[in-house]
Structures are given as C-alpha cells and as structure tokens.
Amino acid sequence: MEENLGMLNYLFDMYKLPKKLKEVFHAKHPKFKFHFLEHHLCHAASAFFPSPFEEAAILTIDGAGEWATTLLAYGKGNNIQKLQTVNTPYSLGAFYQAVSIHLGFKLIEGPGKMMGLASYGNPEGKPYQDMKKLFRLKDNGGFDFDMRYFSYHYTRKSGVSKKFTDLFGPSKTKGADWTDHELDVAAAAQHIVEDVIMHMVKHLKKVTGSNNLCMAGGVALNSVTNGIIAKSGLFKDIFIQPAAGDSGTTIGAALLLNHQILNRERKLMETAFLGPSYDNAACIKAIEAAGLPYKVAGDAAYDFTAEQLMNNKIIAWFQGRMEFGPRALGNRSILANPMNPDMKDILNRRVKFREGFRPFAAIVTEENCGTYFDHDYPNPYMLLVYNVREEYKQKLPSLTHVDGTVRIQTVNEKENPPMRKLLKTFEQLSGYPVLINTSFNIKGEPIVCTPEDAVHSFINADMDYLILNDIIVAKQGDGILG
Ligand SMILES: [Fe+2]
C-alpha cells in the first residue's frame, strides 16, 4: 500500500507543480503554458525525434513512469503512436533492481553493477530455469510475472518476498563474497531481461515492419541486452539516445512539445557533446591556481599521451565540450593501456576503487571495431556490449570481461577528431587503435565538468598526467616537463 500511496503523492505533486514552477520562475502571470507529458512518451520522444529515422519501432523500459513501466510504440515523422504499455507492478526495471538488492547491491546503482556480476554466473543454471517459470510472455508483446515472489510493489523496500528467498536462497550476507549460486541468480535475472526484451522487439518488428529501432528508459542502459539486439539482425539500424535514463526525459519532453504538439521540423542529434567547453586560458587559470607544472604542447600532446599510455601510465583526458548522459565518451575520460593484463587492477587500486568484478569499457576507431570485436555496428554512445574476438582476448586482456565480452564505444572522425587522432597515434606505437575508457571522476563524485573540477580530481587521485585540450599537466615534482 505504501507504494500506491507514493504514487498518489506523486499525482498530488503534479497537481501542485504549476504553482511551484510559478514561484521558481517568479512569474505570477506567466506567458508560458504548462503541459503534463507522459513519462514514457518523453522517453520515446527522447529516442525517436533525435534519431536519423523517418520512421521506427520504439521501445522504452524503466522502473516505472506514472503507471507504465514499458511502452511499445511506432514513430513516424512528427508523431509517436502508442501501441502497447505494460503497467506497474509488472516492471522489468523494478524486477532487476529487486534481484540486485537481494544480491547485496544498493538502490539505483545496483542494476548496473549486477549486469557486470552476471557474467560470472551460469545463465542457463537452475535459478534461470526456475525464474523463467515466473514470467509470462504475452501474445500482445507485453509480459507479466508472478508478483507473489516480489515485495517492491507494497513495501518501501524495493525487494523480493519470502517466496522468492525460499526458492532462490536467502539474501546475500553483508560483507561475504558471492556464492556460485548467487552468481547464477544474477546471471538468471540478466537472462530473463534479455528474454523479455527480445520478445518485445520481435513483436515490435512484427507489428511495425520497421527496419529501425529506437530505445530509451533506464533498462535501455543494459548494454549487454542491447548488444544482443544489435547482433540479432532483427533491425537494420538501432538508435539509443546517450542519455537513455531519466535525465533524457528532459530533452524528450521538449522534443515531444516541439514536434508532436507544435509540429516543428525534426533535427538529427549528431553528437552527445552538448555540454560546456573551456579554452586554454580557462584551463591555465585552473592549473596555475593549483600550482601544477604544465606545458602547452600543441600536437605533441598526442605523441606524449600515446607514449605514456604505452608506459602503462594513467591519463586523465579532458577535451572540448562535455558529454551528455551517464557515460564518459572521450571528452571527460580516464584512459589506460588495454594490453597490460594488470591494468584493470591498477586502475581500480590507484584511481577508481570499484568492485574488482566490474569490467572497464573499450574505446575504438569505428572502422576497426569489427577487427577486434564480433560486431561492427557503430556504437558512439557506449550502449552495446560485444564479444572480444578469440584471437584478441589475450592481446587486450584488461578489456576482456570474464565471459569474453566488452562494452564498446566507437569513434569516427566527425564525432570526435581529438580522440580519433589519439587512438591512431596509440596504434602507431602499439598496433591497436583501442584504449580503456572510464569516466573521469573519483569515487563518490560526478564526472568532472570544468577545468577546476579536472584539476581537483587529478590532484586527489593517483593519476599520472592530465591533458586539458593540448596542455600537458603533471604532478608536482614529476620533472618530466622540464
Ligand atoms: Fe524513466
């Protein structure tokens, strides 16, 4: 009941929102109008309207919007047509989160971490066989499952019920390592998400006939599933907007109004680099305020960075406009050498302090993606997981997850010239236009935005060099800059 009261409170909030907004904007008699827009339509708009497609099947999945947890839709021109919704309590996002909490993860951050853990379990084991029986894939493209095994819909604890723990074992003991059985439960939940999503995209293909698919919603950040869809060949093209989670509904709301309601012309989203950028003067001001040695290196910054990466140094890389969305896409990134088998542990020990089981992502030139990985579909927003080709698993060991997979970001000349140039320079030294790419932040802090943020993180973490535009910054006493 508490959850339902929560929903009612939410509706009361919506009712009170215009008054609150008038206060925020100091506007007693505003000239603007308020529009209430459905959460999942905003997700759908955030994926379809900026996509390169004139028409596309659309799938949005999350924990919950108002009532809907999933939307199957069809977009054409300036219009999104709803085809099917799945409503609370049947929520793929809430299910996945409930299992992640059962396995000892925290609310919100659990699902992303459990996706990495799932690779250690058996996706076909007994937990999967048992879990599969709880789910029903419906002919209309939707799904439901046996709510007696869950409790998130009636308690504030977003979890599982006694019936679930009777069948799948007790919740993980705090501080203990995951047992093999618990790893199989994580793999089972991941496998279920893949089954349900594949069921929905197959249905979408059948009813829309489209060759294009757009996806959004928090569950669309499940890059393992997205990789499976890409490789299935069901759709010729897939667009997943970089801010696929709830932050993306802000653009979705604006685009829904702009196109579907005001009928204005659509515009392709060509880049995720929509944030602020800083010139060298701003960067130098931040560096000098911190008293760090630096050198404006011009093109030599690329050679320096590639050489240091070869030397297994950890490089903080700050270029141009900041990326929009949860992933660092090469403008606010920490980079490292993928060929060193110890690099994952080094990065974790020195900088990231993440759980050892979580993999790091790869950044690769678009034209070489299919050389090293088992699929070449471009993936500029790091939202697909591919397999490392057998012959490169030993050669790129710190990228290859335990099950042979890796989350990929592809880079082309148009999207990110500095990163492409760095990858090509690294290739000249190493033979591989591939690097480890992880977000430029330190534990517990958001991704850096300004040069001041970058200098702060650089000073407070054990990184070797910071590259701000073409300025090389070293730690005090490093001596390399002369
Ligand atoms: Fe959402």
- For 229-257, what is the mean pLDDT? 93
Residues within 5 Å of ion ligand 1 by Cβ?
62, 246
Do 183 and 315 have their domain in common? no
Do 436 and 331 have their domain in common? yes
Specify the pLDDT at position 404: 92
Do 248 and 339 have their domain in common? no
Is 481 part of any domain?
A: no
Choosing from 269, 296, 329, the residue where a domain stops is 269
Do 388 and 448 have their domain in common? yes
Is 346 part of any domain?
A: yes
pLDDT higher at 150 or 17: 150
Q: What domain range includes position 106? A: 21-269
What are the φ/ψ torsions at residue 221 (nearest 5 degrees)?
A: -85, 0
pLDDT higher at 40 or 356: 40
- For 310-335, what is the mean pLDDT? 95
Specify the pLDDT at position 3: 44
Is 274 part of any domain?
A: no
CA distance 460 to 442: 8
Specify the pLDDT at position 65: 87
Q: Is 276 left (phi over 0), alpha (psi -120 to 50) or beta?
A: beta
| pLDDT tens per residue, range 274-320 | 999 999 999 999 999 999 999 999 999 999 999 999 999 999 999 99
In the reported structure, the alpha carbon of residue 249 is separated from the centroid of ligand 1 by a whole-number distance in angstroms of 7
In the reported structure, the alpha carbon of residue 95 is separated from the centroid of ligand 1 by a whole-number distance in angstroms of 14
pLDDT tops 90 at residue 193: yes
Specify the pLDDT at position 283: 98
In the reported structure, the alpha carbon of residue 248 is separated from the centroid of ligand 1 by a whole-number distance in angstroms of 9
Specify the pLDDT at position 8: 56
In the reported structure, the alpha carbon of residue 68 is separated from the centroid of ligand 1 by a whole-number distance in angstroms of 10
Specify the pLDDT at position 4: 46
Choosing from 231, 246, 269, the residue where a domain stops is 269
Is 342 part of any domain?
A: yes
- For 335-353, what is the mean pLDDT? 93
Specify the pLDDT at position 21: 76
Confidence of residue 12 (pLDDT cuts 50, 70, 90): low
- For 357-375, what is the mean pLDDT? 94
Is 290 part of any domain?
A: yes
In the reported structure, the alpha carbon of residue 60 is separated from the centroid of ligand 1 by a whole-number distance in angstroms of 8
Do 172 and 286 have their domain in common? no
Which of 25-39, 300-314, 347-361, 395-409 comes out lowest in average pLDDT?
25-39
Are 366 and 419 in contact by the 8 Å Cβ rule? The answer is no
Do 250 and 291 have their domain in common? no
Do 265 and 287 have their domain in common? no
| pLDDT tens per residue, range 128-148 | 999 999 999 999 999 999 999
Do 301 and 240 have their domain in common? no
In the reported structure, the alpha carbon of residue 221 is separated from the centroid of ligand 1 by a whole-number distance in angstroms of 11
Q: Count how many residues are written for the chain.
A: 482
Specify the pLDDT at position 9: 58
Count of domains observed in the chain: 2
Do 128 and 249 have their domain in common? yes
Is 10 part of any domain?
A: no
Confidence of residue 11 (pLDDT cuts 50, 70, 90): low
Are 74 and 44 in contact by the 8 Å Cβ rule? The answer is no
pLDDT tops 50 at residue 2: no
| Mean predicted lDDT score pLDDT of the chain | 92
- For 23-29, what is the mean pLDDT? 73
* CATH (domain of 432): 3.90.870.20
- For 404-408, what is the mean pLDDT? 92
Do 83 and 136 have their domain in common? yes
Is 464 part of any domain?
A: yes
In the block, residue with structure tokens 């335990």: 402
In the reported structure, the alpha carbon of residue 438 is separated from the centroid of ligand 1 by a whole-number distance in angstroms of 24
* CATH (domain of 29): 3.30.420.40
Specify the pLDDT at position 314: 97
| pLDDT tens per residue, range 441-463 | 988 899 999 999 999 999 999 99
Is 159 part of any domain?
A: yes
